[in-house]
Amino acid sequence: MTRYDARALNLLRELTVSQYKLKDQSTFFGFLWSFLNPLFMVGVLFAFFHARLGESVEHYGIYLLLGLVQYTHFANTTSGAMRVLLSMKPLTKEAVFPKELLVVSSTMSHTLDFVIAMGFCVIAAYVSGVRPSSSVLFLPCVLILQFLLVSWVSLLLSCVFVLARDIEHIYQVFLRALLFLTPVFYTRSFLGDGLAHYLVVLNPLAHMIDLSRSILLDGAVPSGERLLGLLLVNGLLVAIAFRVFKSFEPRLAEYV
């Protein structure tokens, strides 16, 4: 069992801050780009789909924005964390510390943007006329659950990437498909009862997006069962991914 003391937490903090600074965020325009990217996509998707797919959705712009912010966070975080053991090769190969810190710090550095972007979504929602509700206090639950989701996916992907570098191309194709397999710009009812419906039910990102939309747009307080269920499933998957990572860790320096 790995023991984390104050020094490991200090390293996690330093790695997170360093990666955040390196992600062109130390410049104002680099920081702005993190938000302009999903905003630009919202503009394009809104222009194309508002008339048909969005006609039954109140505040379709915010509906799109939430979906895209969460999808973009998932895609950017997992892609970045997948490569981190190689992009920080000297640390992976020649420094002694628990290597999952590299993966977790990468996910944390991306999640800082996500937290700010979700705050921006809340402001945008109220500006565009969404009625304020106390349910917004449950939004941090979405942040925690999504962090758990990207953490287990990142831990597994980072191991697979070291063993098979071409997985990067396959994953980019998967991410493109995921945009369509996740109700980002359409509603669940659009899918009917076919195979696509079941694929969305099995898609953990879709559950996260549903949760944030119901909290912010519908003003609904999520049920304890729903939150606990998502927490248990993602918590269990983090534990499994962590075990897989630790069993692979002694061979990392050889494969990288």
Partner 1 sequence: MSEAVILTTHGLVKEFAAGGRRPTLYRALRSALRHGARDEGRLRSLDDINIVIRAGELVGLVGDNGAGKTTLLKTIAGLYAPTRGRVEVHGEVALLAGLGVGMIDELSVADNIHLYGAVCGLYRKTIRDHLDEIVAWAELEGFVDAELRTLARGMQTRLAFAIARHIASDLILMDEAFSTGDKRFQEKCDLYFRDSKRLRRTALLATHNLEFVKEFCDRTLWLHKGKQMAFGPTDVVLAEYLEFAAT
Give the binding site for partner 1 (CB under 8 A).
Answer: 6-7, 10-11, 13-15, 17-18, 21-22, 88, 90-91, 93-97, 162-167, 170, 250-255
Question: For residue 89, what are the contacts with CB-CB under 8 A and spacing of at least 6?
Answer: 256
CB of 92 to partner 1, least distance (A): 9
CB nearer to partner 1: give 52 or 165: 165
Q: Minimum distance from CB of 72 to partner 1 (Å)? A: 24
Q: Is 178 within 8 Å of 75 (Cβ atoms)?
A: yes
* Rounded Cα distance, 143 and 245, in Å: 23
d(CA 241, CA 221): 30
Nearer Cβ to partner 1 (48/255):
255
Residue closer to partner 1, measured from CB, 57 or 102: 102
We find the least distance from the C-beta atom of residue 155 to partner 1, in angstroms, to be: 17
In the complex, what is the shortest distance from the CB of residue 148 to partner 1, in angstroms, rounded to a whole number? Answer: 25
243: Cα separation from own chain's centroid:
21
Tokens of 243: 């075990």
82: number of Cβ within 10 Å? 25
Rank residues 27 and 128 by Cβ distance to partner 1 and give the closer one.
27
Report the distance separating Cα 150 and Cα 88, nearest Å: 19
- Of 137 and 170, nearer to partner 1 (C-beta) is 170
Cβ(211)–Cβ(67) under 8 Å? no
Q: How far is the CB of 1 from partner 1 (least distance, A)?
A: 15
